[in-house]
Structure 1
């Protein structure tokens, strides 16, 4: 099994967030002006901001999708220590999450 680097996983997660946002808007008929997306990865933010560098296929496809569906103004950075989703992604058990 091939391992995947963390920045690629974070970029895949950002792409998935955009796809879920689009699906929710379409299926629920939400009339929102703009969604906000949060990431604790400065690498993802830099990928999305980039307009000139050429990337390998996977990264290029993710970045292209995100850039075509969102605006960089919709993306926000949150430090890992302040990211409430980080506890879940680190594999904490339910009791540990309740204590935090």
Structure 2
């Protein structure tokens, strides 16, 4: 969480600089997280998750601030909103920020860009993606506004598959030409038998994708017919 806070502060600084359209020679971040500063100063390679977030932060000077001087911690300490209304620290930050940098508190817990002895050589990050075999519907049911439209689409898919099969096994089959002609006409509405077949297919696919438990089958006294439907 503290690392993410430092990263957000870095992006906020960049945003302000871009909006002001002014070249700022030096920007300083303040954090009460000692571990973040140690990570920034470390010459050791951190794990990829941490290292990717440290890189943009390293562009700026990062200094440690004590918790009692950190206005961001005031709400986490349980200070009620009524006390924040006139709180100088909350609205203006610690007093030393209004002074020259030479008067700022001295601390060894700070990071200055380029101060590390060794140059960090990031190791390549390899990500392995393994394909997961999942059963999928012939079409996505959620994309249809009604069951009727879904069944009609299934019918047309079955017809297209039939054409492909006939063409593969017997390209010169005269029946193939007739099927294509029918498919290209606007009057090619699904027959009741085709709609029934599409409904049976959807039921079977639904039961395959979301099979009921054995307890459910027993409690509801379900059984499978000759077509293996519940």
Bin of the TM-score, shorter chain as denominator length: 0.7 to 0.9
Contact 1:37 1:75 in 2 (8 A): yes
Of residues 35, 38, 43, the one that matches 1:46 is 38
* Secondary structure, counterpart of 1:75 in structure 2: strand
Which residue does the alignment assign to 1:63? 54
Check 1:24–1:99 CA distance in 2 against 1; reply closer, same or farther (3 A cut): closer
Which residue does the alignment assign to 2:81? 94
Can you give the 5+ residue segments of structure 2 that lack an aligned partner in the other structure?
Answer: 88-230
TM-score, normalised to structure 1, is 0.73
Q: Which runs of 4+ in 1 moved over 4 A?
A: none
- Larger gyration radius, structure 1 or structure 2: 2
Alignment length (residue pairs): 87
TM-score, normalised to structure 2, is 0.34
Which structure shows the bigger proportion of residues in helix conformation?
1
Can you give the 5+ residue segments of structure 1 that lack an aligned partner in the other structure?
Answer: 1-8
Contact 2:33 2:64 in 1 (8 A): yes
Superposition deviation, residue 92 in structure 1: 3.2
